[in-house]
Chains A and B, each alone.
Chain A
């Protein structure tokens, strides 16, 4: 059983040195989902932290404008995927079992995301998207929007409400999908689609149809 003291001790160790956890802390994490999540978030942040500290020394002498290319590339690629999807070729890509499993695992970590029914404010949604450097024009009410660590980056984890129920949408602008395909695991099924340098994951609960919503969701990627 995980006690308050144990969690506090574990989080001190994780926050102090996330790369070198003792066996005692590792054992606690194995039985405490909250601390496991704290560890995962810290490790994801760690990669960003290292990137931030590794300053671009060449820019000490030669400043250049901040690149705005990522959202545009993301949008362009999404439109290409959409064209393939409309043409019926989306399922010709190879599936991505590892990526799909990570998406499912992430969704499993946030079961409460499915229970939200009140739309988040436009400002809150914009803030989440800005943190990840992506743009998304949601065609459905967004009832959950969280900037989540995923593979070393912060990505928007959204839940949109359709007339057939909620769908999880993760905009993985930094996760390259070599291919795409449908997946199914436990009570969830979904699809990961490549989007230029990134990808998009859409997850539905068992028995819920989502194919009909992919087109408007992809059109929303700007």
Chain B
């Protein structure tokens, strides 16, 4: 019996890892771009770049933040290259994006749609660190590295993002911080 070369095994494992992480990359790209077609394009480019650079990854645990970084860069690059118009929230709703207008649960949880709209209304500088933290699982230090911010600045942005979202639940907002 001829054992498979070790390199092939590693390559297969990396391919499986990309496949596993792909849904969250699409979600992350969507929250950045607020457009599902752009999100799909960004992730496609991301996966191609990741595949070409797979030798750079030594620690599988580092793959996720590494891919999120590529998504951010590809998103910025796409907008720069194509000079895409910014997407207006009203347009997103008029287009009837099912991801925003329909509940993804079987329990008729319309509250999630309200929350999604509220997240979309957050300024980019609040929404992006929030998505990186909650969806991406990054620490505030890692988010700081991604966004070029101090950890204190990241904390403040995350605090303000959540403070704004409290309003839709009728919860009292906390006093803002300087």
Binding site for B on A (CB under 8 A): 8, 11-18, 20, 38, 41-42, 45-46, 48-57, 59-60, 62-71, 127-128, 130-133, 146-147, 149, 154, 173-174, 197
A45 and B165 contacting across the interface, CB-CB below 8 Å = yes
A154 and B111 contacting across the interface, CB-CB below 8 Å = yes
B108 is contacted by which of A38, A50, A70, A146 (Cβ under 8 Å)? A70
A53 is contacted by which of B31, B40, B163 (Cβ under 8 Å)? B31
Residue tally, chain B, CB below 8 Å to A:
50
**B104 / chain A contacts, CB cutoff of 8 Å:** 51, 54-56, 59
**B107 / chain A contacts, CB cutoff of 8 Å:** 67, 69-70, 133, 173-174, 197
Interface: B17 (CB within 8 A): no
**A54 / chain B contacts, CB cutoff of 8 Å:** 27, 104, 135
Q: List 11 A-B contacts (CB under 8 A).
A: A12-B156, A15-B158, A15-B160, A16-B162, A45-B165, A46-B134, A52-B119, A55-B27, A60-B40, A133-B110, A154-B169
**B155 / chain A contacts, CB cutoff of 8 Å:** 12-13, 16-17
Q: Which residue of B lies closest to A149 (CB)?
A: B169
A17 and B169 contacting across the interface, CB-CB below 8 Å = no
The 3 A-B pairs with the shortest beta carbon distances in the complex, nearest first, are A56-B104, A16-B155, A15-B159
Q: Which of B26, B101, B112, B160 has the most CB of A within 10 A?
A: B112
Q: Known interface pairs A16-B159, A56-B99, A60-B99. Does A68 touch B115 (Cβ–Cβ under 8 Å)? A: no
Binding site for A on B (CB under 8 A): 23, 26-27, 30-31, 36, 40, 96, 98-99, 101-116, 119, 130-131, 133-135, 139-140, 154-156, 158-160, 162-163, 165-166, 169-171, 174-175, 177
> How many contacting A-B pairs (Cβ < 8 A)?
144
With the chains together, A45 CA to B104 CA distance in Å? 17
Q: Nearest Cβ in chain B — how far from A75, in angstroms?
A: 12
Q: Known interface pairs A11-B174, A45-B165. Does A68 touch B135 (Cβ–Cβ under 8 Å)? A: no
A55 and B30 contacting across the interface, CB-CB below 8 Å = yes
Q: Which residue of B lies closest to A10 (CB)?
A: B174
A60 and B108 contacting across the interface, CB-CB below 8 Å = no
B108 and A15 contacting across the interface, CB-CB below 8 Å = no
